Amino acid sequence: MDFSYTSEEEQFRHEVRSWLEANVPTDLRAGRDDDLSVDERWERRKDWHKTLHAGGWIGLWWPQEYGGRGASVSEQAIFNEELARAQVPGGINMSGVTMLGPTLMHWGTEEQKQRFLPTILPAEDLWCQGYSEPGSGSDLASLQTRAVEDGDHFVVNGQKVWTSWAQHSDWCFLLVRTDPDAPKHNGISYLLVDMRSPGITVRPLVQMNGDAEFNEVFFEDVRVPKENLVGEKNRGWMVAITTLMFERVATSSYYRVETLLPQLHDLAHRLERDGKPAGENAAVRQQLAQFAIEAAAIKYNELRRLTRQIKGQPPGPEGSFAKITSTELNLRVANFAMELLGPYSTLAKDSPFAIDQARWSYRALSARSGTIAAGTNEILRGVIGERVLKLPKSR
Ligand SMILES: Cc1cc2nc3c(=O)[nH]c(=O)nc-3n(C[C@H](O)[C@H](O)[C@H](O)COP(=O)(O)OP(=O)(O)OC[C@H]3O[C@@H](n4cnc5c(N)ncnc54)[C@H](O)[C@@H]3O)c2cc1C
């Protein structure tokens, strides 16, 4: 494996870094937007998305004909590294940019590509993912939302749940059952649904961190034009899996950890332990070093994944590995900050004694969700057990 960058790539890094230095708003640096309410954060990040898009940094690797730059895999990785270095978040509409967009490029008709792709990067159309149902999460193929043909339309009835950002979305990529009699993987179809269609009700759900980021979504006789079917009727499972493969790679919170570690280091040097800065305590230093080692291991695994991508190979088990390790490290980092804060970790952000506006307890309460979303870590451990370690299937 060659870790060195070409002079063009170094030049590209310089370009990104200079742009970020000139454009990153102070209130988004170092996770300060974690202090905002979920709706304020959404609006703030939407503005930041527009700035990134105007700079040409959203969907870097997308082909130019759909508004991207046709950047190489290495350039995308360099951009992500520089975002982490600058300690700023990326854009919004990730369900569109990292999941639906690439899926449509692979499976969409020419009309669908022309109709839907150009509005994703500028966030003119925001997308949400309608997969999970109250009775179908890990066992996604058991989903029950029904779609029945009626002339030029499908008529959809059913319920989805945990649909992130549905309350702000214009469109949903939705899995529905179109043949209830077929074996469960063979009767599913993939539809693109206008969220303003009559018959859709969105109800926000509040998570343990206090945010209402995801939603219940109800469909009652919702009419979806047949031209919005992606892939073949009843063969939507393959399309759904393509989206999931892109999602797992995108959900690795490796870059999030890279952003948090310098902040944890800073916190440890501001808090006291035994009359000295906690960052000078041997046990604390050991833990900080351990986190840095694990972050480095995740980074090199990420490079292995990139190498496969550069060689044009499909995503391998590294995607599952990256998602497990980075989300669990993210959780342990946040929990360790709580340990350092001791009793201060219990204060709410409006308390005059709260440290860093109680940002760390918000992060600790948020971090668990990463181990559940986009396929739980238990399910992904099963994938690694079966596909990499060749262990027998669990029953
Ligand atoms: C923050 C967040 C955002 C989300 N956003 C979306 C979204 O936008 N769109 C969407 O469609 N979904 C979304 N989800 C839903 C997510 O995909 C599901 O929560 C996830 O797939 C698990 O499904 P479930 O919640 O039904 O849990 P279940 O599948 O019921 O699992 C319950 C527990 O049993 C374990 N388990 C289940 N089966 C096995 C097995 N075979 N082996 C070992 N352990 C097992 C699981 O690991 C878990 O611990 C989101 C979830 C979160 C947390």
**Per-position pLDDT tens, the chain of length 395:** 667 889 999 999 999 999 999 999 988 888 888 888 888 999 999 999 999 999 999 998 899 999 999 988 888 889 988 998 898 989 999 999 999 999 999 999 999 999 999 999 999 999 999 999 999 999 999 999 999 999 999 999 999 999 999 999 999 999 999 999 999 999 999 999 999 999 999 999 999 999 999 999 999 999 999 999 999 999 999 999 999 888 866 655 556 788 889 999 999 999 999 999 999 999 999 999 999 999 999 888 887 877 777 777 766 777 788 889 999 999 999 999 999 999 999 998 889 999 999 999 999 999 999 999 988 999 999 989 998 899 998 76
Count CB-CB contacts under 10 A for residue 296. 10
Rounded Cα distance, 344 and 266, in Å: 16
Q: Is residue 367 part of a domain?
A: yes
Secondary-structure percent of the chain, ordered helix, strand, coil, rounded to 5:
55, 15, 30
Range of the domain at 203: 125-234
pLDDT score, position 240: 96
Beta strands per DSSP E along 179-263: 188-194, 200-205, 214-225, 229-230
Give the CATH number for residue 360.
1.20.140.10
Rounded Cα distance, 289 and 295, in Å: 10
- Buried b / exposed e over 90-109, threshold 16 CB at 10 Å, is bbbbbbbbbbbbbbbeebbe
Count CB-CB contacts under 10 A for residue 146. 15
The single residue of 81, 213, 247, 318 carrying the catalytic annotation is 247
**CA dihedral in degrees (242, 246, 251, 256; nearest 10)?**
180
Radius of gyration of the chain (CA): 22
Q: Is residue 104 part of a domain?
A: no
Transcribe 31-60 into DSSP letters.
GGGGGS-HHHHHHHHHHHHHHHHHTT-TTT
Ligand 1 pocket mutation, candidates 162, 164, 243, 394, criterion most atoms within 8 A of CB: 162
Rounded Cα distance, 395 and 392, in Å: 9
CA of residue 93 to ligand 1 center, whole Å = 21
Ligand 1 pocket mutation, candidates 94, 131, 132, 144, criterion most atoms within 8 A of CB: 132
Q: Is residue 45 part of a domain?
A: yes
Q: Does 269 lie in the same domain as 206?
A: no
Nearest to 337 by CA among 257, 252, 253, 255: 257
Q: Does 312 lie in the same domain as 216?
A: no
Nearest to 48 by CA among 35, 58, 60, 36: 58
Kind and range of the H or E element at 285?
helix 282-310
Rounded Cα distance, 100 and 158, in Å: 22
Q: Is residue 189 part of a domain?
A: yes
Instruction: Decide: 173 in ligand 1 pocket, CB within 6 A.
Output: no
Q: Is residue 98 part of a domain?
A: no
Residue 372 to residues 325, 366, 369, 387, Cα–Cα distance (Å): 13, 11, 5, 20
Give the CATH number for residue 141.
2.40.110.10
Q: Is residue 87 part of a domain?
A: yes
Q: Does 164 lie in the same domain as 72?
A: no
Q: Does 258 lie in the same domain as 225?
A: no
Domain boundary residue, one of 199, 234, 269: 234
pLDDT score, position 328: 95
Ligand 1 pocket mutation, candidates 138, 144, 381, criterion most atoms within 8 A of CB: 138
Q: Does 15 lie in the same domain as 63?
A: yes
pTM (2 decimals)? 0.92
Question: In this structure, which amino acid lies at residue 77?
Answer: A
Domain boundary residue, one of 203, 234, 265: 234
Q: Does 267 lie in the same domain as 216?
A: no
Instruction: Decide: 138 in ligand 1 pocket, CB within 6 A.
Output: yes
Rounded Cα distance, 385 and 347, in Å: 41
318 among known catalytic residues = no
Q: Does 259 lie in the same domain as 345?
A: yes
Contact 244, 375 (CB under 8 A): yes
Token code pair at residue 251: 């959900």
Establish how many alpha carbons lie within 13 A of residue 279's alpha carbon, considering only the half-sphere containing its beta carbon: 11
pLDDT score, position 188: 98
CA of residue 378 to ligand 1 center, whole Å = 10
pLDDT score, position 114: 96
State the residue for tokens 């001791």.
Answer: 342
Q: Does 367 lie in the same domain as 259?
A: yes
CA of residue 376 to ligand 1 center, whole Å = 5
CA of residue 369 to ligand 1 center, whole Å = 10
pLDDT score, position 77: 84
pLDDT score, position 180: 97
Instruction: Decide: 366 in ligand 1 pocket, CB within 6 A.
Output: no
Domain boundary residue, one of 234, 269, 290: 234
Q: Is residue 166 part of a domain?
A: yes
Residue closest by Cα to atom 7 of ligand 1: 163
Q: Is residue 35 part of a domain?
A: yes
Calculate the CA 150 to chain-centre distance.
35
Q: Does 160 lie in the same domain as 72?
A: no
Rounded Cα distance, 209 and 225, in Å: 38
Backbone φ and ψ of 6, nearest 5°: -75, 165
Residue closest by Cα to atom 41 of ligand 1: 379
- Buried b / exposed e over 321-356, threshold 16 CB at 10 Å, is bbbbbbbbbbbbbbbbbbebbeebbebeeeeeebbb
CA of residue 203 to ligand 1 center, whole Å = 19
Q: Does 230 lie in the same domain as 256?
A: no
CA of residue 360 to ligand 1 center, whole Å = 25
Kind and range of the H or E element at 176?
strand 171-177
Q: Does 356 lie in the same domain as 282?
A: yes
Rounded Cα distance, 75 and 60, in Å: 8
What is the tally of structural domains in the chain? 3
Sorted by sequence, the CB contacts under 8 Å of residue 209 that are 6+ apart come out as 362, 365, 366
Q: Does 290 lie in the same domain as 185?
A: no
pLDDT score, position 189: 98
